[in-house]
Amino acid sequence: MKKVFSVMLALTVGIMFCFAGAGLALEKATKDECVAKAKAAAELARKSGLDAALEKIGDKNGPFVWKDSYVFCIDLKQATVLAHPIKPKLRGKKLIGIKDSNGKMFFVEMVNTAKNQGQGWVSYMWPRPGEKKPSAKVTYIYRIPGVDAAMCAGVYE
């Protein structure tokens, strides 16, 4: 009887880990979601004004933080962060010289992508929310039409 119970317990725990792993996989943002969220944030800025949009984007419990991703906003003239829900200390910081752990000046690339192409993807290393170790990330950059700012959202690879 004890052996049957032990086998049943092991099977139950194994099944729970399988479903937990599947649940974690569902919690990863997709590139399509990043495009949609960045464009939705830009539309909010167009309709409600940039300041109202920045308030919502900067809210870590707001609609622009989902799964393992979030929207942040950059100023294309000043090369600063206008809103960042996970690292609010970045707001107002000039990041033009910042490099990732591989030495890539990714913020320069973000600004140039927005200015020259209007939209596009930039890859770099950045810590996941709640972590310190950098992970590979690719971020979608979408320039707000008529404004020197861009909405950005990325996925960890």
User: What would the mean pLDDT of 110-132 be, rounded to a whole number?
Assistant: 95
pLDDT for 14-64, tens place per residue?
433 333 344 444 499 999 999 999 999 999 999 999 999 999 999 999 999
d(CA 43, CA 67): 21
> How large is the C-alpha radius of gyration of the chain?
19
Residues of the chain above pLDDT 70, percent? 83
Q: Is residue 14 part of a domain?
A: no
Q: Is residue 131 part of a domain?
A: yes
CATH number at residue 123: 3.30.450.20
Pairwise CA distance, residues 85 & 57, whole Å: 6
Q: Give the global pTM.
A: 0.82
The pLDDT of residue 4 is above 70: no
77 pLDDT more than 60? yes
Q: Pick from 26, 25, 55: which is nearest to 41 by CA?
A: 55
- Is residue 75's pLDDT more than 60? yes
Tracing tokens 């949009």 back to the chain, one arrives at 53
How much is the pLDDT for 132? Answer: 92
- Residue 19: enclosing H or E segment and its boundaries? helix 2-26
Mean pLDDT of the chain: 88
Is 5 inside a domain boundary? no
What was the pLDDT predicted at 17? 36
pLDDT at 3: 54
Of 25 and 69, which is predicted with more confidence?
A: 69
Give the residue numbers spanning the domain of 54: 29-156
Number of structural domains, the chain? 1
pLDDT at 16: 36
In order of 92, 98, 118, the CA distances from 121 in angstroms are: 23, 18, 11
With 90 as the cut, is the pLDDT of residue 116 above it?
Answer: yes
Distance CA 106, CA 134 (A): 13
Question: How would residue 2 be classed by pLDDT, with cut points 50, 70 and 90?
Answer: low
Query: Has residue 104 been placed in a domain?
Result: yes
